[in-house]
Structures are given as structure tokens and as C-alpha cells.
Amino acid sequence: MRDTPAADRIKFLRGLRVIRRFRPDPVPQEVVDDVLEVARWTGSSANRQPWELILVRDRERMDALSRIGDSPGLVPLADAALVLVPVLTRENAELDAGRLLERIMLAAAAHGVGASVAGFGSAIPEAKELLRVPDRHGLRVAVALGYPADERARLVSVERDVDTRLPLGNLPVGRKPLSRLVHFERYGSGPATEPGPTVS
């Protein structure tokens, strides 16, 4: 089963990691086009599509973006080939925006392009000014895109000792196990046993 298209896709989805170090190569326009097309087809509540995107390639603007936000230096927006900034055009659009975000990262990864997410946090007003976003719209994060700097760039978020230049601080690495993730039938049921039919 491990060589089926399904297995390839699961491996692809399972393997997504943030990339925080980029090499300077530009990302070809046809790759950007694919990312935008996958983003465009993101599903949303009642198909409201409560978003627009700002595509930033200007180096000065990326530098300026990289100097605002919660984690200056952690996510190198300035080193990215381009930055995509989702603009939330409705209230309560965060859940939908998260779907958009994941698809942008996956579409980039489909082409070997890495992505990381930078939260604007308390610097949202500054980001809005820099990007000329009307106050009525929301900003949460920017997505930096670029080719990974090297083979180890995809490991920085899961093996903290690989690149000690990164200020990962006390961020946990890896993911919690299924035993801490999944409940059956109701919350608190305990994850140890799996009832119910499992017929294939």
C-alpha cells in the first residue's frame, strides 16, 4: 500500500514542516501562480471567501515587514523570495484563514518551496500601515516563501539542536502523541482503546 497515490499524498501532507532559512533564489512565476490558484480554491464557511492576499516581493518592504511582529528575527521574512499576507475581510474569519494558510504552505511545498508563518501579534496596526490595509480589515500573519537554505532547514522546527542560531527558546518540538490528541465518542473518554467498527 505504501506506493499508492494515496500513500504519496499522505506522506506529502504528513511531511510539511516550516522552513525558517531560505536561499536567495527567486521563486518562478509558475510556482507562484500555482500557490495562488490553490489559495483561491480554499473552502470557507458558506463559501464566503473572507480574504484577500497581498503579494510582497519588494526587498525593502519585506525588510520592513521583518522588523515588526512578535518574533523579530525568528522568521526571516527579509530572506524570503516573497511574502504572502492574508487580509481578513470579514469578522470571525480566523478559522477560514487558517485553512487558506495551510493550503498556501502545502502548495509551496508541492514545488519544494518552503514556508514559515510570522504572527504580527501586537504590531498589527504597524503592519496595516505598512501594507496600506484598511482598518476595517484584519491581519494576523504573514507567510514567507522561498527555497530552503539547505537540507537541514526543514529540521529546525523538529530538532532543536540542528541550528542553534535560531532563537527557538523553549518552544516544544515535534508533536504530542495520539494518546494526548484523540478522544473517542466524547471528551475525556480516554484514548487508549478504540471501539466501533473498523471494517475495511
Least Cβ distance, residue 11 to a copy of itself (angstroms): 9
Q: Which amino acid is at 182?
A: V
Q: CA–CA separation, 18 vs 22, rounded Å?
A: 11
**Which residues ranging from 49 to 78 are in contact with a copy of itself (CB under 8 A)?**
49, 51-58, 61
Q: Mask: binding to a copy of itself, 10-29, rule CB under 8 A, as x and -?
A: x-xxx-xxx-------x-xx
Where are the strands (E) in 2-88, listed by range?
51-56, 82-88
Least Cβ distance, residue 86 to a copy of itself (angstroms): 10
- Using rule CB under 8 A, residue 95 touches a copy of itself: yes
Interface pick for a copy of itself out of 97, 143, 144, 156 (rule CB under 8 A): 97
- What distance lies between CA 179 and its chain's CA centroid? 25
Nearer to a copy of itself, 36 or 155 (CB): 36
Interface pick for a copy of itself out of 23, 40, 152, 165 (rule CB under 8 A): 40
Q: Which amino acid is at 15?
A: G
Q: Which amino acid is at 154?
A: R
- Give the side-chain half-sphere CA count within 13 A for 8: 4
Nearer to a copy of itself, 62 or 149 (CB): 62
**Which residues ranging from 127 to 156 are in contact with a copy of itself (CB under 8 A)?**
130-134, 137, 140-141
Interface pick for a copy of itself out of 94, 122, 125, 167 (rule CB under 8 A): 94
- Using rule CB under 8 A, residue 38 touches a copy of itself: yes
Q: How many residues bind a copy of itself (CB under 8 A)?
A: 92
Q: Residues 183-192, buried b or exposed e (16+ Cβ, 10 A)?
A: eeeeeeeeee
* Best CA proximity match to 146, nearest among 57, 13, 51, 33: 57
* φ, ψ dihedrals at 84, nearest 5°: -110, 130
Contact criterion met (CB below 8 Å) for 147 and 55: no
**Which residues ranging from 161 to 180 are in contact with a copy of itself (CB under 8 A)?**
171-173, 175-178, 180
Q: CA–CA separation, 76 vs 67, rounded Å?
A: 9
Least Cβ distance, residue 149 to a copy of itself (angstroms): 19
